[in-house]
Structure 1
């Protein structure tokens, strides 16, 4: 491997170790030393790649958000109706929890315990999804003032809470149930008419 390839390889090893430990033991119970032990790398390689555990969590969230957004766009483009597009998007988000539970747990639960870098990335991720949600809202009467950006953020926040409680097994849902309940919320907000 070239020097650049070795650097990328070590970075991926650290990220994989972080994903494993954050999801299995929790962010607050994970140390840099534990990440290095899990990755099999020497101490200096963490500092060469990340400023802190919070920085590592930020990058893991970025990866998850980018992957989800890409899949959501594919699902949106594959459907014909705004309802079908919303359902496809919700299925992508539920898929992260059901089929990639480490990523689901890190995104929805463990990232909340991290620091300001992860918090900022959480907000960016929510805004990216909210922009997609807003693009799916049906046309509204222009004479009524409804802030669709605020409503789309409310949908994303509500769906995150449904998925978080499902991931944490507080809601005994199937994947289909999680998508259906998210769709109820989306439709209620999308079809809301102000007086």
Structure 2
């Protein structure tokens, strides 16, 4: 039996390492939600997770690597939510609402995740680079939802503009600069999606 499979306390070494990694990521998300990126340090994360820095460096080379891994984990969650939307079927309004609700399920139902994806990358260098790197994935997902009939370049431009418009609305709400109710925000996002989808074409 390999060292990774040796059981201690009912779990293998690999399982314990995975649990420690998960605890560190959860702690970082909590701290970011409470204090922003500035509140996420190796020391604060270890204290929050109840682990020593030895276990931190077992999983991450630095605080920046931890934040990048956390961002990618939550971005993957959002990607899965958006991929679950059927690109066909239902009215345009129903499809637009489904797309917005997929975004809401990750970014508003857990505001820590919304802040991680949309607010902190503007001020934290560890997140800005990885945010730019994953942006094309989401514009491609938006393109899948666009009604047919547009040229390739028009679809690309529309998906980038639409993603930016909705993200800006969510950013405003999460950062506190947009003081409307959650319901008003969702309805405006749906109207915004429909506005882009219903543009007249030559």
- Shorter-chain TM-score: what band? 0.7 to 0.9
Q: TM-score, normalised by structure 1?
A: 0.86
Is residue 151 from structure 1 mapped to residue 158 from structure 2 by the alignment? yes
| CA shift digits 1:124-151 (9 cap, x unpaired) | 4332221121112112265xx8431122
Q: Structure 1: which 5+ runs fail to align?
A: none
Deviation at 1:191, TM superposition (A): 2.7
Would you say how many aligned residue pairs link Structure 1 and Structure 2? 192
The higher relative CO (CA closer than 8 Å, separation ≥ 6) is in: 1
CA RMSD of aligned residues (A): 2.3
Aligned to 1:129: 138
| CA shift digits 1:150-182 (9 cap, x unpaired) | 220111111111001111222233333222212
Which residue of 175, 187, 190 corresponds with 1:168? 175
Contact in 2 for aligned 1:31/1:53 (Cα 8 Å): yes
Is residue 10 from structure 1 mapped to residue 17 from structure 2 by the alignment? no
Aligned to 2:45: 35
Deviation at 1:67, TM superposition (A): 1.2
Q: What pairs with 1:101-112 in structure 2 (closer than 5 Å)?
A: 101-112=111-122
Write the distance in 2 (CA, Å) between the matches of 1:125 and 1:174: 29
Is residue 120 from structure 1 mapped to residue 138 from structure 2 by the alignment? no
Greater C-alpha Rg: 2
Write the distance in 1 (CA, Å) between the matches of 2:78 and 2:50: 29
Q: Structure 2: which 5+ runs fail to align?
A: 1-10
Is residue 61 from structure 1 mapped to residue 76 from structure 2 by the alignment? no
| CA shift digits 1:91-121 (9 cap, x unpaired) | 12123343212112222212333225x3233
Deviation at 1:83, TM superposition (A): 3.5
